[in-house]
């Protein structure tokens, strides 16, 4: 009996030791898991993102929601089979594909549908994830409807509940926002014409339908691509103009009450919102601060390619006052989701500082060349067959929201002569003095090509011919191959 009790006692100690090991394992696992979630990553701008399987991320016109340690990104997929795809990340750089949450194979009206701007809400009362989206018939934009789907798990499966016009109003570009348990739909609607007005609806308790039209704002101003967020006690509403696929000037408005009076829209960013259109603003809340990250689409339709060739522009918003915001261009961002700190980075992106490039004209195959290998101010710039001279090599460096393009041989920069704003203004090299005629926007045009646009004049770099020595000028951009350029890295 005593021996049996002794054995039992030893077993109890063994169980106790095993429990301690198990708990230690949990603690260790938790520590490792938390460490694994730590992130300080560099995210490049103006490119396509890749997932962990090295496939292009298709979350165009999308929205983002944080669940636990994960940021879930949902967006359009125009591959012809799928409609809405879902990805997740802990650091906003490493994206893991999770599911095609809506597909044409689901049948019904989805079989021929075109779905745009999907966004997710979480309803804590019903325990459901509610997806809102803009739905069209797949052939034109005559429907002007929203659609709703729900799921108990963010990764699906989703039940599609059909499409409708909210309270009978036409609805196109849209977003939704959960304001502490009360949800709202913001949608571009038809007043005098399509997308001319903006409607704000309060949703019902389960977030699946529009309950009340709160107000119609900005009648006749043609604002679309809405993105809503709250900072402190101020609500911000970002929108774009209505110019089809082509980017335009973004504006923002503010309100102290989401159902109250919204201010008139004010400009931010540059005249093309750095070649993007607003999709969403995600708060990145960390241990040190909360940053607000603008998510934008650089639509491939602007250069005549399919939507799935579109690129992404992500930029941090800054706030000079509680009711104003600003946004500047950075080639890449450093993002730390643990601390919430986002900082600009002049490296990465499409162009690497210090890297030498030949700048190749698409129309001729010849490169930007400083005549006679000159190192003098005002030396002419033309095109010439590439032979490897330093007068044919250039570096590209971000200067605020623009770039300066520097000749390797002379150390001088690409310059519009006499600060001309006219077509046929001549292109030369000149010592950098910070003038707007020496700064350039470099905008992707598809097929690894770019337009190079003068900040000063808004006109594009243009080769006047295809032969060696053909002059380079500035001219209004019309999309010719003589106005498109490729940046090829060289030693």
Residue 64's CATH number: 2.115.10.20
Determine contact, residues 297/277, Cβ cutoff 8 Å: yes
Tens of pLDDT along the chain (491 residues)? 333 333 334 444 444 433 433 433 433 333 333 334 446 899 989 889 999 999 999 999 999 999 999 999 999 999 999 999 999 999 999 999 999 999 999 999 999 999 999 999 999 999 999 999 999 999 899 999 999 999 999 999 999 999 999 999 999 999 999 999 999 999 999 988 888 999 999 999 999 999 999 999 999 999 999 999 999 999 999 999 999 998 999 999 999 999 989 999 999 998 889 889 999 999 999 999 999 999 999 998 887 889 999 999 999 999 999 999 999 988 889 999 999 999 988 666 677 768 899 999 999 999 999 999 999 999 999 999 999 999 999 999 888 678 899 999 999 999 999 999 999 999 999 999 999 999 998 888 878 899 999 999 999 999 999 999 999 999 999 999 999 999 998 99
Both tokens of residue 388? 């490897």
The answer to whether residues 100 and 121 belong to one domain is yes
User: Counting beta carbons within 10 angstroms of the beta carbon of residue 481, is it exposed (0 to 12), middle (13 to 18) or buried (19 or more)?
Assistant: middle
3-state helix, strand, coil in the chain (%, to 5): 15, 45, 40
Residue ending a domain, choose from 345, 376, 409: 345
Residue ending a domain, choose from 345, 368, 397: 345
94-139: pLDDT as tens digits: 999 999 999 999 999 999 999 999 999 999 999 999 999 999 999 8
The answer to whether residues 228 and 335 belong to one domain is yes
* CA 381 – CA 296 distance, rounded (Å): 35
356-414: pLDDT as tens digits: 999 999 999 999 999 999 999 999 999 999 999 999 999 998 886 788 999 999 999 99
The answer to whether residues 166 and 113 belong to one domain is yes
**Per-residue b or e along 269-308, where b marks 16 or more CB atoms closer than 10 Å to that residue's CB:** bbebbbbbbbbbbbebebeeeebbbbbbbbbbebbeeebe
Q: Could you list the residue range(s) of the whole structural domain that residue 73 is in?
A: 39-345
Both tokens of residue 362? 């698409």
The answer to whether residues 333 and 391 belong to one domain is no
User: Is residue 365 a part of any domain in this protein?
Assistant: yes
- Distant-in-sequence, close-in-space partners of 217: CB < 8 Å, separation ≥ 6: 197, 198, 200, 253, 262
User: Is residue 317 a part of any domain in this protein?
Assistant: yes
Q: For the whole model, what pTM was predicted?
A: 0.77
The answer to whether residues 267 and 339 belong to one domain is yes
SS (H, E, C) 322-380: CCCCEECCCCEEEEECCCCEEEEECCCCCCCCCCEEEEEECCCCCEEEEHHHCCCCCCE
The answer to whether residues 159 and 205 belong to one domain is yes
* CA 263 – CA 468 distance, rounded (Å): 55
* CA 107 – CA 456 distance, rounded (Å): 52
């Amino acid at each position: 009996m005593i021996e049996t009790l002794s054995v039992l006692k030893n077993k109890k100690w063994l169980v106790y030791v095993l429990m301690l090991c198990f708990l230690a394992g949990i603690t260790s696992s938790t520590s490792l898991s938390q460490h694994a979630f730590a992130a300080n990553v560099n995210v490049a701008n103006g490119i396509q993102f890749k997932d962990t399987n090295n496939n292009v991320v298709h979350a165009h016109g999308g929205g983002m929601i944080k669940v636990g340690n994960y940021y879930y990104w949902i967006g359009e997929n125009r591959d012809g089979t799928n409609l809405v795809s879902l990805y997740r990340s802990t650091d906003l750089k490493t994206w893991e594909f999770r599911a095609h949450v809506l597909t044409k194979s689901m049948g019904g009206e989805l079989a021929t549908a075109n779905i745009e701007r999907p966004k997710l809400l979480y309803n804590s009362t019903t325990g459901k994830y509610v997806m809102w989206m803009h739905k069209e018939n797949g052939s034109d934009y005559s429907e002007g409807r929203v659609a709703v789907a729900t799921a108990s798990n963010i990764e699906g499966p989703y039940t599609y509940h059909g499409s409708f016009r909210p309270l009978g109003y036409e609805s196109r570009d849209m977003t939704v926002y959960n304001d502490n348990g009360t949800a709202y739909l913001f949608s571009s609607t038809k007043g005098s014409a399509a997308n001319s007005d903006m409607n704000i609806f309060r949703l019902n308790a389960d977030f699946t339908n529009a309950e009340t039209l709160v107000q119609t704002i900005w009648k006749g101003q043609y604002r679309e691509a809405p993105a809503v967020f709250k900072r402190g006690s101020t609500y911000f509403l970002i929108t774009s103009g209505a110019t089809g696929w082509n980017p335009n000037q973004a504006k923002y408005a503010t309100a102290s009450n989401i159902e109250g009076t919204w201010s008139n829209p004010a400009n931010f960013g540059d005249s093309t919102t750095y070649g993007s259109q607003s999709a969403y603003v995600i708060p990145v809340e960390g241990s040190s601060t909360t940053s607000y990250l603008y998510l934008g689409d650089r639509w491939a339709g602007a250069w005549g390619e399919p939507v799935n060739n579109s690129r992404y522009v992500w930029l941090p918003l800054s706030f000079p006052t509680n009711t104003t915001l600003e946004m500047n261009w950075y080639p890449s961002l450093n993002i730390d989701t643990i601390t919430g700190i986002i900082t600009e980075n002049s490296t990465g992106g499409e162009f690497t500082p210090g890297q030498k490039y030949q700048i190749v004209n698409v129309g001729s195959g010849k490169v930007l060349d400083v005549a006679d290998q000159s190192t003098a101010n005002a030396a002419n710039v033309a095109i010439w067959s590439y032979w490897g001279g330093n007068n044919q090599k250039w570096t590209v460096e971000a200067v605020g929201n623009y770039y300066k393009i520097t000749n390797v041989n002379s150390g001088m920069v690409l310059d519009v002569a006499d600060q001309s704003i006219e077509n046929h203004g001549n292109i030369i090299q000149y010592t950098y003095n910070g003038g707007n005629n020496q700064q350039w926007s470099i905008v992707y045009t598809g097929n690894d090509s770019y337009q190079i646009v003068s900040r000063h004049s808004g006109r594009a770099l243009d080769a006047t011919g295809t032969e060696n020595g053909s002059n380079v000028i500035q001219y209004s951009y019309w999309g010719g191959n003589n106005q498109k350029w490729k940046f090829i890295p060289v030693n």
